[in-house]
Structure 1
Amino acid sequence: MIVSNVSLSGCADFNSALCAGAGEGHLGGGSYRTTLTPTGNLVVAVCLGFIGTFGLINNLLVLVLFCRYKMLRSPINLLLMNISISDLLVCVLGTPFSFAASTQGRWLIGERGCVWYGFANSLCGIVSLISLAVLSYERYSTMMAPTEADFSNYRKISLGIIMSWAYSLIWTLPPLFGWSHYGPEGPGTTCSVDWTAKTANNISYIICLFIFCLIVPFLVIVFCYGKLLSAIRQVSGINASVSRKREQRVLFMVVIMVMCYLICWLPYGIMALLATFGPPGLVTPEASIIPSVLAKTSTVINPVIYVFMNKQFYRCFQALLQCEAPRRGSSIKSSSKVPTKAMRGVAGTGPRRTNEFLFMVASLGQPAATVPQLELSCEPTIDITKAPSSDNKPVVVSLVAHRDG
């Protein structure tokens, strides 16, 4: 997580209380005043209170739905749970302390608490970013090589979750051992990585953090969802109206995801680069609090975009409110093991008449895909070679459309 920090080199720019505590090396047992006005602290406190409250409620609700309804416990939904857990930890381990500091106008839990705050929030923030990238790759790989859900899918997703936490630890532990450091940020109501120190040690860490924890996940997300949209366009010749509607819905989702990612996290990157390579004092403490607050809004936005815009989760949410079993949508769950070239072959048939072909629509990882009303006789067929057994593996369902005449 990349946010601004108050360094001792810029001590003259801040009030004497802050500089005295930092210069003695113990913010600590005591506390220090912020550089914001009482009105500024109030505005920040209101924003953090809103973010903390709704972030906590949204992510707790996601976890309740996941635990309450077995139909949600699919491999890809485990990634959504990982995102919700990391966002929930930010709401529990970070936001309350910065909220309290803003209401009191001073940091309250000392130097060690500042280091812990910076580490914990950086760790959970990067886990959320990497999980979004893993989620986009999983949707892309599922679309390109769809397979039936089995234990290997769960193992692959579990490895992705473990990788997201390990990758985050790789980049958040170094400041604890001397490669940069954690300290008070901006006006003094939060703590994070120091990105104002003009040393080779600190600059090298900020550059690596910017590239590997912000740019790389963003490129993975854009590439994977771009490929997904391209695949949807390939099958648009089967039923133009249905495919166009689905393509527009997927495009809308992708645009929203990318825009929210940029709104929440790009200001961090810009402010970090300005503070690292710009002249001293270019990034003021008052301005540096803005990207910090924007980044925390991701804890509220992520559950809405990735969960409550998911029809399956939304049906379960309605059922939870109405205290009844979730209603089934008019859809067929399809996880047929269809080669990618078969899908491409369908898109490339053009007007040529064929006796039968497979119809497959790529979606954003949602297990239920609406069956389009083709002008052909379309019948769902069940592969009896994959009948239910004691291990409860799902029956493979495919759609085979026969052209009349």
Structure 2
Amino acid sequence: MNSMNMFSDLAELNYSFNVSDGDSFLDHWNDIPTTQTLSRAGFIVLSVILGFIMIFGFLNNFVVLILFCKFKTLRTPVNILLLNISVSDMLVCLCGTTLSFASSIRGRWFLGKRGCSWYGFINSCFGIVSLISLVVLSYDRYSTLTVYHKRGPNYRRPLLAVGGIWLYSLFWTVPPLLGWSSYGLEGAGTSCSVSWTLRTTASHSYIICLFIFCLGLPVLIMVYCYSRLLHAVKQVGKIRKNAARKREYHVLFLVLTTVVCYMLCWMPYGVVAMMATFGRPGIITPIASVVPSLLAKSSTVINPLIYILMNKQFKRCFLILIGCKRTQMENGLSSMPSKTTAIHLNRRMYSKTAPQLSIPQVSSSLPIHGFSTPITDRSNPPNVTS
């Protein structure tokens, strides 16, 4: 009886793809009970949400790119990682969300098997690029604070990191195109991703590796780096309580915001995907899988908001860009000061209190998301300013 119901459900999938691509297209869409798919009103709501994500995701990341082009002070080595995230997020909006939006309006996937494979590949590739960039960024901020580098700004390392991130993403997203698992319809049948419900050994092995190396391990690295970052800031706060106490709470707020947004956007999608893969057939309905998918797509909107609203450099440049801030500061500097105000940490005092760390200084701008770069001259440290 269960087999008959499964074949009946498969037969009802004809509305969501072009049969002209071949009957083999059916092989990758099993266990999707389309009798529980969205109603017409549900597709309208889904279209509205996807349209919002598509428009604002593109505009927000486009603003970040404009700020990079217009303000030279933002073109720091660490901000290259932010630029990489914005580029990948904007490409998701252009090449991925637009197709899902159009499919939701029509109530079905309309580009056939090849279009679905293309959509699944680019969406997965750009999504992993954004995720791994956030992980590399967390490690960079951790190492900037806790490891002293005497050298000046070096663009070689972040450029190599960006290249490595794209190669890493391709390493994990190309195999389904070559036969190790596959890309197929997901959710309400208007978007495509890895074929989570494909019951084969190859598919299961790929999904396990994907979950470990593209979600589980990155989350652990982010949590470790940011927890060490908070620990280092607390050590500084013990020495310079008046100057560093507010900074400590600000770092805590930023770290929690970044990690929570990361977890909210991607962990539900990962959990639902694993349940669909290893749970009983039909345990995840199309309606239940739509929300995690939308949360994952919403990261393209949230990421640039974090950069602009919580990054002093970006926020100041953005206010100048929209005309809410005069281009000439009252202190006589240009639109963006070339040097950030810094809190000097006395090396002797700190070595007595916390000898296990090597922190040359803590910037008044947060050492996260490209807020500042470490001071490279110990012989002439800046004065403490209010």
**What is the TM-score normalised by the length of structure 2?**
0.84
Report what 2:309 is aligned to.
308
- What is the DSSP-based 3-state SS (H/G/I as helix, E as strand, rest coil) of the residue aligned with 2:197? coil
**Where does residue 377 of structure 1 map in the other structure?**
none
Q: Which amino acid aligns with 2:381?
A: S
Cα deviation for residue 232 of structure 1 reads 0.7
Q: Which moved more, 1:107-116 or 1:17-26?
A: 17-26
Aligned CA distance change for structure 1 residues 274 and 85 (closer, same or farther; 3 Å): same
Matches within 5 A, 1:93-132: 93-132=95-134
Q: In the superposition, relative to structure 1, how do residues 316 and 248 fare at CA in structure 2: closer, same or farther (>3 Å)?
A: same
Change (3 A) 1:92 1:139: same
Question: In the alignment, what sits opposite 2:340?
Answer: 333
Residues 189/358 of structure 1: CA separation in 2 closer, same or farther (3 Å cut): closer
The one-letter code sitting in structure 2 at the alignment partner of 1:24 is D
Determine the structure 2 residue equivalent to 1:279. Answer: 280
Name the SS of the counterpart of 1:25 in structure 2: helix
One of 354, 372, 375 as aligned partner of 1:367? 372
Mark the CA change 1:222 to 1:342 in structure 2 (over 3 Å): closer, same or farther.
farther
Aligned to 1:243: 244
Q: CA deviation at 1:307?
A: 3.7
Counterpart of 1:195?
196
Distance 1:337 1:177, change over 3 A: farther
Query: Which amino acid counterpart does residue 301 of structure 1 have in structure 2?
Result: I
Counterpart Cα distance in 2 of 1:305 and 1:345: 34
Give the conservation status (yes or no) of the 8 Å contact 1:180–1:193: yes
Distance in 2, matches of 1:130 and 1:258, equals 13
**Given that residues 187 and 285 in structure 2 are in contact (C-alpha distance below 8 angstroms), is that contact kept between their aligned partners in structure 1?**
yes
Q: Amino acid of the residue matched to residue 103 of structure 2?
A: A
C-alpha separation in 1, matches of 2:311 and 2:85: 15
CA contact (8 A) 1:83 1:131 kept: yes
What is the count of residue pairs matched by the alignment?
357
Q: Which amino acid aligns with 1:84?
A: S
**1:10, 1:398 → 2: CA distance?**
71
**Contact 1:318–1:326 at 8 Å: present in 2 too?**
no
Alignment of 1:17 with 2:14, yes or no, is yes
8 Å Cα contact 1:319-1:326 kept in structure 2:
no
Report the alpha carbon displacement of residue 181 of structure 1 after superposing the two structures with TM. 0.3
Superposition map of 1:220-299 within 5 A: 220-299=221-300
CA displacement at 1:289 relative to structure 2: 1.5
3-state SS, counterpart of residue 185 of structure 2: strand
Structure 1 length-normalised TM: 0.80
SS of the residue corresponding to residue 381 of structure 2 reads strand
RMSD: 3.2
Q: Deviations over 1:149-176 (max 9, x none)?
A: 635x211111111111010000000000
Between Structure 1 and Structure 2, which shows a larger proportion of strand residues? 1
The residue aligned with 1:85 is 87
Task: Determine which structure has the larger helix proportion and give its number.
Answer: 2
After TM superposition, the structure 1 stretch with the greater mean CA deviation from structure 2, 293-302 or 265-274, is: 265-274
Change (3 A) 1:326 1:284: farther
Does 2:381 match 1:398? yes
Distance in 2 (CA, whole Å) between partners of 1:259 and 1:345 is 34
In the alignment, does 2:38 pair up with 1:42? no
- Cα distance in 2 for residues equivalent to 1:19 and 1:303: 34
| 5+ residue gaps, structure 2 | 27-33
Tell me how far 1:243 sits from its aligned partner.
1.4
* CA offsets 1:243-294 (integer angstroms, 9 cap, x no match): 1211111001111111111110001111111111111110111111211111
What is the CA distance between 1:337 and its match in structure 2? Answer: 12
Partner of 2:29: none
Superposed CA deviations along residues 51-102 of structure 1, whole A, max 9, x for unmatched, are 1111001000000000001011000110000000000000000011100110
| CA distance, structure 2, for counterparts of residue 358 and residue 169 of structure 1 | 38
- Asked if structure 1 preserves the Cα contact closer than 8 Å seen for 2:345 and 2:361, the reply is no
The amino acid of 2:144's aligned partner reads T
Consecutive unaligned residues in structure 1, runs of 5 or more? 1-8, 28-32, 350-356, 370-380, 387-395
Give 3-state SS (helix, strand or coil) of 1:150's partner: coil
Q: Residue 46 and residue 150 in structure 1: after superposition, are their counterparts in 2 closer, same or farther (change >3 A)? A: same
Distance apart, 1:125 and its partner CA = 0.2
Percent identity between matched residues is 49
> Is contact 1:148–1:336 with CA below 8 Å preserved after alignment?
no
CA deviations 1:312-334 (Å, max 9, x no partner) are 11111011111853746899537
